[in-house]
Structure 1
């Protein structure tokens, strides 16, 4: 089968058009591992960069005549929100592609809107509000907050300073983020508790493929996932912060996590694969954010591919893309 791997522009190497010579770099290895898995299945591959000139990008895709596009795009022209535009263009062009639909990507990226959607399904979310830089900061706080960019991926833009417990600290963090970016900022209730990442996949039947926990031991400088914790392995090792599969969960509570995760997945109308972040406070499972088209590194810390089966998961993603396309074309 002919498959185009659509990647961020900076990940494209014209001297290696099918990623056969590329070697993985930690945290930037998804493209290599996906290409390696697809090649091992006998597929013919072409890597295409998603550039701001989407007309030219689509022309390169069509010239290869692929059966499906494996969409690994996280931004276009440096703008994260443009990932949904790429999916939308592929939909309009009638090209089968993997990953979330344009609407599910757009809703999930907006950390405030996604919480409204999940809350409307009767599931728990933290209280939150948006600060757009024009309104005066709040004069009082009823609880600690996490203050972070509204539309960035995962833990991007989250630091130890994101946790605020006073109005003065809140105003400092708002000013800090406003200097770094002109985008809106979300201020959400900080949920004390365990940090759990659930990987799901499916269209009609949704499977819970992996449950992982980010563990913060006593003495950890923070107790939530910052950008540094996510990307700096030495920092995690220094403080004993680590990922694990929470095998000690009692079956009834594991079942409740799976129920809430499936409900969240369906509420956001995700129909391929994603990772969902939750905080567990006592027995409350609180939705934090969704990451459709989440990183697919074979060595991912947040998905237990050793148990799931990496090649099997990649094969399922391709199969779901073809099935969804056939339904929409009928």
Structure 2
């Protein structure tokens, strides 16, 4: 599963199940959603390291609008287990089909790249691998272990699939002890049938709740896209559901349709509305809420992790006093 808040137009062969004919005219992007094309020296250096180690990044695969900013700062989100997903979500720009075999050298290559880039915080995500008995859980664990071996001081954030119908998979990943466990709900429940048909809303919630039960020290995180036609009260209900599952950190960003064949953008949510969501979310008890048009699950992940730790320490200190 990729960081699917990151979708912008990028022509790719599409799986027929992803095709969606818009029932309205394509909306024009407002000024606040536009970004400049990446050209900096830092961006080019990061791209070189990624290519050298034959790695896949969600930054490229999902056409993230923040790629220029992040790569210039030597931040990258590595996408493991190939470039082909076994699911066909209506919003996603990653190719769907039959995946290739896992690369046994990938964990070591990711570890080498993290060390070479000198990353203090790294994000690892993946495509869905419903074809694997464990959904790729052991591969996630192997990557985490490889990063720990090459860069002991680097904190690790993972953005995982839902491991639907994969008994024991979650336990394998949690046992590897990532610092942050992220799994995106993506949208409100009423949109799942059309937007995320291969997933189950309450299974995803339970997955994140189970992480806390297995290891309370791991931060949990989840995000949704807005602009898919959801109502404000539905977003607020998702907030309540997340808090009931003890999720620490929520991200909210604008959905951007990858092409005219994908699920259409129904609305461009204003920066003021995003600010309102952040205020409400913080009042509901999240340790952190990131909410803006260009917010993405992995954007500013390192800085956000520092804020998460500080917020937890402040909460525990207040509770003890």
Q: Is the strand fraction higher in 1 or 2?
A: 1
TM-score, length-scaled by structure 2: 0.34
